[in-house]
Structure 1
Amino acid sequence: MLIIKNLIHWLILLVSAIIMFVCVLPAVFIPQGANKVGRAWARLLLWSLKNIVGLKYEVHGAENIPQNPAIICSKHQSGWETLALQEIFPLQVYVAKKELFLIPFFGWGLKIAKTIGIDRKAGAQATAQLLQQGLARKKEGFWITIFPEGTRMPVGERGKYKIGAAKMAKMFEMDLVPVALNSGEFWAKNAFLKRAGTITVVIGKPISHTAGDERELMKLCENWIEEQQDKITNPIYLSQK
């Protein structure tokens, strides 16, 4: 039954991705239009996950979401958070690797929606790309979402936190909003099947861009996220690994 439910979800995803792309094209002529279409698509997929697969979520700390645009600094364990953060937070753009833009329909939609694309192999030039595009998105009124570890991490593991988010926070005078979650317990990295259950999302109080230098800001963010990860990680899952 789980396989059938997941197949239905994937069918909805594939068909809706094409429809979404068609809708995005005229939406580019409306301010933030493409992003609103993208958010509607994300909500459709979240509905599918909830009502077909049985994968729900609960949010703790929603009151910590500030009024002004900020930089969402989130743990990354699966593809789920790329959908859910769009529903939880105001309109946003993501920081992603440029290779994603090559994926038919989905990747093209990302580019049209002004996703901040960086070349991971570009070194210092990648940072310049991040800052240049990020500043442009801030001026357009978007929030910015970044996964500071740079890639999806298995449950219970910590990657190296890069300081790109802190660099943007200092340059753009935007606070960091740390986010912890345990989506990997139900939707593992590169897994086809998603399991039913309830994902926990915890949103921390904003970390002011004036709270320290770049490394200090990133360390504050990392410490908070990882402390929360230890609290919400399912010990039953870890014992079965």
Structure 2
Amino acid sequence: MVQQDKTALGYLRAALYYLAFYPATVFYSVLCVVVARPLPFRQRFKFVTQINYFYIAWLRICCGVKLQVEGLENLPKEGAYVAISNHQSEWETIYFQILIRPQCIVLKKEILKMPFFGWAMGLLDPIALDRSQKRGALKALLSEGKDRLGRGIPIVIFPQGTRLAVGERGKFNKGGAMLAVSSEVPVVPIAHNAGVYWPGKSFIKYPGTIILRIGKPVASVGRSVDEVHAESVGWLLEQMDQLEAPEATKV
């Protein structure tokens, strides 16, 4: 496992990262509300997510967190699809908006109530679900998801529902597979080990190379939800086991 050095230097590097992260987020979120709101969706998405490039670059400069992407050729160049991924860190919510452009993300409704960050996220036409209303959340996912996919916008879903520590698996919900089957679009599974270097709710970020691996699209036409879910999640679990192995974190 990567050496997680909780020294004064680690705290200093993280503090330096956030000294730029938070002021930049506040300033840019207000700018987005003023400038981006009237723009068409695709232009609005490009404008709002420009700051993500800064976040990732600053993370590398301050904390030494790098990235290695594998299987980029598996990401569809055009057309809608449902991307599913494991959820370990705040990192993937930042980087995925660079990887998949444009996109619609499925998130918890409470996030949109957050000052500044939530305001900007609300401009990206997310599918905001009330997790306390399971039946209503699934209905909203399918109806709003069909709308986004029908407009040719890929959807990003974290089927575990919440961030989990490295080594934890939780339950993978079938909403992504249900949406893909009902809309007859493929599922693209994406695995990573970001939680090794940026653990969820951790102040310190640990230097090293995040590995992100994109799987081949899983066809949904003519298949059941259970088949699509089993194939896509099975691939994710296999890759997570590999990426979290001690030798994988030495890249």
2:185 aligned partner:
174
Kindly state the Cα deviation for residue 237 of structure 1 after the two structures are TM-superposed.
Answer: 9.7
Q: Which residue of 1 aligns with 2:27?
A: 19
Q: CA deviation at 1:16?
A: 1.4
What SS does the corresponding residue of 1:72 show, helix, strand or coil? strand
Matched with 2:38 is: 29
Counterpart AA for 1:231: Q
Aligned sequence identity (%): 33
Give, in angstroms, the shift of residue 87 of structure 1: 1.7
Name the SS for the 1:158 alignment partner: coil
Partners of 1:211 and 1:217 within 8 A in 2 = no
* Secondary structure of 1:76 counterpart: coil
Contact 1:185–1:237, Cα closer than 8 Å, also in 2? no
* CA displacement 1:72-94 (0-9 Å, x = unmatched): 10111101011111222221121
**CA RMSD after TM alignment:** 1.7
Per-residue Cα deviation, 1:120-176 (whole angstroms, up to 9, x for no partner): 011111111112222222234321100011111211121111111011101222210
Aligned-partner Cα distance in 1 for 2:27–2:44: 13
Larger mean Cα displacement after TM superposition, 228-237 or 77-86: 228-237
TM-score normalized by the length of structure 2: 0.90
Alignment match, 2:3: none
Alignment of 1:188-199 (within 5 A): 188-199=199-210
Equivalent-residue separation in structure 1 for 2:98 and 2:134 (angstroms): 32
Q: Does 2:85 correspond to 1:39? A: no
Contact 2:185-2:221 within 8 A present in 1 as well: no
Give the deviation of 1:236 after TM superposition: 7.0
- CA–CA separation in structure 2 for the residues paired with 1:103 and 1:219: 35
- Output one character per residue of 1:205-225: Cα deviation in whole Å (capped at 9) or x when no partner: 000112621122111111000
1:65 to 75, 89, 109: 75
State the match for 1:8 in structure 2: 16
Query: TM-score, normalized by length of structure 1?
Result: 0.93
Code of the residue aligned with 2:134 in structure 1: it is G
What is the number of residues matched between the two proteins?
A: 238
Contact 2:181–2:223 at 8 Å: present in 1 too?
no
- Relative to structure 1, the CA distance from residue 211 to residue 56 in structure 2 (aligned partners, 3 Å threshold; closer, same or farther) is farther
Give the ranges of 4+ consecutive aligned residues of structure 1 lying more than 4 Å apart after TM superposition. Answer: none
